[in-house]
A and B are shown apart, each in its own frame.
Chain A
Amino acid sequence: MPGPSVAAFSAAMRAMREERGVSVADAAAATRGVSATRLAAVEEGRREPDFVLIMRLARTLGVKSSEFVSRGEILDPAMPLADDVILAALGRAELHKGDDRPGVLYVTLVEHLGLRKGSVTSRRLRPRLRELVAAGDVEEFRRRGYGLLTLTHKGNRRLKDAEPVALPEAPQHRRWREARAAATERISGCRGDVRSALEGAAALLADEDATSDAWYALAGQLERACRRVGSATHCLREWAEPGDAAADVPSDEHRGRRNYRLWDHTAHGSGRPDDAGSE
């Protein structure tokens, strides 16, 4: 049986630290006997981890040391993907869809496995999926031209009976984490934009000769700036950390407040609703 490579293991360590929003410096500070320099070197694959480091970092991050190792096996292109891991990822992908209709796209399954879409993943995953379909654990079907995957009753039973596996970070948790990071970084700048728009308003009020163009430009500027602060505030304070056990679906009035990627592009801020589902 081949073992996962150190590179895949290092990538797993880094991914699990980042998923918890902990910096290298903070992780090292909270871990006895591990310096930031050493931790960074291990994550970059320049130094080899040993059991003390694995165990202590696991404690810092609140995971079991075996989770790093299992995660490395998922990430390593040379390791076969275990049935239990694929079934658990498919089960979670269907749960996080947030509606009752069965079936998720192949790319959604790939995301839940923490893998990159591409031929390397495809060569690892497709044959395993075909075996699971042949065994009756997974069903492939089409809806409106899209190929979808779903757990059969048999697959669901098998998943319930299996030992729980440590899956990579769920896409909905990654969205939450990335939105928070962006909001933390940007919120004071966005508040500054509101302030300068207000200063612009004061200048216009003082100016009897202000044109209609100037007023309309100000209106757009002020609206964009306020929406950005509102969206960042929502991401930081109102968006609860999504757990794995349920779909994280925003309420209707909060749709569009979670997509920080729109901050720099949207003229009206309402934007595209969050991509909570997979289709």
Chain B
Amino acid sequence: MPPRRQSTPRSAEHAALGEAIRLARVERGLSQEALADAVPMHVTYLGGLERGVRNPSYDGLVRLARALKVTPGALVGRADELLKTQS
């Protein structure tokens, strides 16, 4: 059975990471479908990541960053920045 769709982020950090992923994707002019195909990962999973309800593995982060053409450090760094401006 697939996991139930959740709408509340797992944590503020997950929400920030999701936002960083979404921003990087939009800046590259990619739709969720196009990015999911490039990684590759399921588009539902990508949607979950962007909403902050999924918890990516380190490898998942690296593959996602590669598809977004940024370093994983830059992607997570952006999430750290977003978190800082929120609090």
Residues on A facing B (Cβ under 8 Å): 1-4, 6, 9, 48-52, 54-55, 64-66, 69-70, 72-73
Contact = CB atoms under 8 A, between A and B. Distances in A.
A66 B79 CA distance: 8
B66 A2 contact: yes
- What bracket does the count of chain B residues touching chain A fall in? 20 to 34
B55 to A, nearest CB: 5
Given A1-B71, A69-B76, A52 B10 contact: yes
B13 A6 contact: no
Contacts of A52: 10-11, 14, 55
B80 A50 contact: no
B14 A73 contact: no
B28 interface: no
Given A4-B72, A50-B57, A73-B72, A65 B79 contact: yes
Main SS at interface, chain B: helix
Contact of B17 (A3, A51, A73): A51
Nearest to A54: B58
B59 interface: yes
Contact of B76 (A2, A6, A65): A65
Contacts of A1: 65-66, 69-71
A232 B55 CA distance: 46
A240 B69 CA distance: 43
Contact of B66 (A3, A64, A65, A73): A3
Contacts of A50: 55-58
B73 A48 contact: no
A70 B56 contact: no
B77 A66 contact: yes
A73 B74 CA distance: 11
A69 B77 CA distance: 9
B61 interface: yes
A49 B58 contact: yes
B38 to A, nearest CB: 13
A3 B66 CA distance: 7
Given A6-B59, A66-B80, A55 B13 contact: yes
18 contacts: A1-B65, A1-B66, A1-B69, A6-B62, A49-B57, A50-B58, A51-B13, A51-B17, A51-B55, A52-B11, A54-B76, A65-B13, A66-B74, A66-B77, A70-B77, A72-B73, A73-B72, A73-B73
B73 to A, nearest CB: 4
Contacts of A9: 58
Contacts of B79: 65-66
A66 B73 contact: yes
Contacts of B61: 51, 69
Contacts of B11: 52, 55
A157 to B, nearest CB: 23
A55 B80 CA distance: 10
A66 B57 CA distance: 14
A49 B62 CA distance: 12
In order of increasing CB-CB distance, the 7 nearest A-B pairs are A3-B62, A66-B77, A70-B73, A66-B76, A69-B73, A55-B13, A64-B80
Interface in B1-35: 10-11, 13-14, 17
A64 B74 CA distance: 12
Contacts of B55: 50-52
Given A1-B66, A4-B62, 7 more contacts: A3-B62, A52-B14, A64-B80, A65-B13, A65-B80, A73-B71, A73-B72
